[in-house]
Structure 1
Amino acid sequence: MTGNEGPARNLDGPASPATAPPFEQLVLESRDIQAFLTELAILASSRLSAPGNTIHSGVTVLRHRKPEAVAASDAAAKALDELQNGFGQGPCLTALRRKTTLLVPDLAAESRWRPYLRTAMEHGVSSILAVPLNLAGDAEAVLNFYSGCSNGFTSEDVATAEMFAGQAASSLRLILRITQLSEARNDLSAAMQSRTVIDMAIGAIMAQNRCDRDTAFNILTRTSSARNVKLREVAAIVITSISGERGIGTHIDE
């Protein structure tokens, strides 16, 4: 990074809807959430960069109350996000926790977060912009921008960054909900499969031992506990034994 003072920009201000990034396309083409966030960081970095002022962009999320750098436009952005997370303080983390945009135009003139800012300046950072992603409680994330120039972000840049964050948040909420529905469906499918196997095993034990369902279930659970094997696995072994393969058998002493 180089420390210049307010370089001239060849940008025409905030992106219009016609030039806005194709977030819907990103959603469709991204393999997963991290891939989507990486593409977001690259697009945001490209949109805000200008001759003499390369902008590095990263995304930090809060997981189990701990910040984690999950995506970046480049290695420099990744390192800068991780640096701030290591200090546990800084403009990006403050923006994340307060859920509000935060601009530090000149790190040398900023009195907050001094231990972190001193180190950031040693890494060539002169100004920082952080814009949180409104994920409606599904998660917490912030889009971070780093410039090697003091006053490296104009008011138009802030508006553009907020536009990026707003559009990306809408797409990301959709991805998160699709992921949650998919996981719930998979969990339900697994639970139904487990229940089917257990029911089949109970039926086999009932037939073999000429007992009622409750007794058969108790036999199965006691065997699971005694052998320290999951109930579904015991049930699967019982079912396997029906075909004559080696197993614990369906006749289990009470």
Structure 2
Amino acid sequence: MTNNSAGDEAAIQLQDLLLGTENVEDFLDQLAVFAAGALTRLVGAEVECGVTLQRRRRTMTVAGSSPRAVILDRIEQSLGDGPCIEALRTKSVVLLADVDTDPRWPGYQLQLAAQGCRSTLGVPLEIGADSAAALNFFGSDTGLFTDEVIKEAAGFADLAGRSLRLAVRIGTAQSRAEDLQAAMEHRTSIDLACGVVMAQNRCSQEQAMTILTRVSSNRNQKLRDVAADILANITAGDVRTHFEA
């Protein structure tokens, strides 16, 4: 980050996050919340953050600072293109400054506008040879992601990438692969459970995610475990994500 003391503080906080989480998946959850908070304080307005993981040729939303952040990030995954995926492809920061005037992703931008999101910032993280990740920041207004903010976000992403690389290096190569695969598989279970709640309650995806999050909090149970319980009641087999070779 541009300010040494701020950068040192962020590095220490990211290290604490790493030490306080049991696996890569939990670290990604906490990273999304931490990253959203850091940019919110910087811009003086609420910023939400989704985390996209790319493993081989597949990308998936694996974490978010809020249920809404997960939904916003998944819009891009469903369409297969957008600032975050472009950031992964080019390994550089990609700004969507205004959903009304930028010509690059019209379908994506229409869906963002419908959700009240006016601008986004995709920031890539380096992980390893066969994996990458990106932070997808969402702003409710235009003009939030100034040149200074982009520079700070890139510096923060560099620190976060180092912490994430350390997280995936802990243990054997096999356990690291399983950690990344688990992150995708658990998100699949959460998405499916969200669909079940939508069908049962005739509600929107955002409302369903809010219900799941509330149940998770009330039970003091991880969201992925709540999702697994819901799916266990309607299917006899395990829910798994199948990766492309």
TM range (shorter): 0.5 to 0.7
Q: Percent identity?
A: 34
Q: 1:95 to 1:129 in 2, by over 3 A?
A: same
Confirm or deny: 8 A CA contact 1:15 1:160 kept in the other structure.
no
Equivalent residue number for residue 93 of structure 2: 101
Provide the TM-score with structure 1 as the length reference. Answer: 0.63
Q: 1:88 to 1:181 in 2, by over 3 A?
A: closer
1:121 pairs with 2:110: no
SS at match of 1:151: coil
Equivalent residue number for residue 205 of structure 2: none
Q: How does 1:89-238 map to 2 (within 5 A)?
A: 89-181=81-173, 183=175
Equivalent residue number for residue 86 of structure 1: 78
Aligned length: 173
Write 1 or 2 for the structure with the bigger share of helix. Answer: 2
1:34 pairs with 2:25: yes
Equivalent residue number for residue 48 of structure 1: 39
Confirm or deny: 8 A CA contact 1:13 1:156 kept in the other structure.
no
Of stretches 93-102 and 18-27 in structure 1, the one that deviates more from structure 2 is 18-27
Per-residue deviation, 1:13: 7.5
One-letter identity of the residue aligned with 2:35: A
SS at match of 1:109: coil
Give 5+ residue unaligned stretches, structure 1: 1-11, 185-254
Structure whose alpha-carbon radius of gyration is higher: 1
Which gives a bigger RCO, structure 1 or 2 (Cα 8 Å, sep 6+)?
A: 2
One-letter identity of the residue aligned with 2:9: T
Confirm or deny: 8 A CA contact 1:14 1:160 kept in the other structure.
no
Per-residue deviation, residues 188-227 of structure 1 (Å, max 9, x unmatched): xxxxxxxxxxxxxxxxxxxxxxxxxxxxxxxxxxxxxxxx
Give 5+ residue unaligned stretches, structure 2: 177-245
Equivalent residue number for residue 16 of structure 1: 6
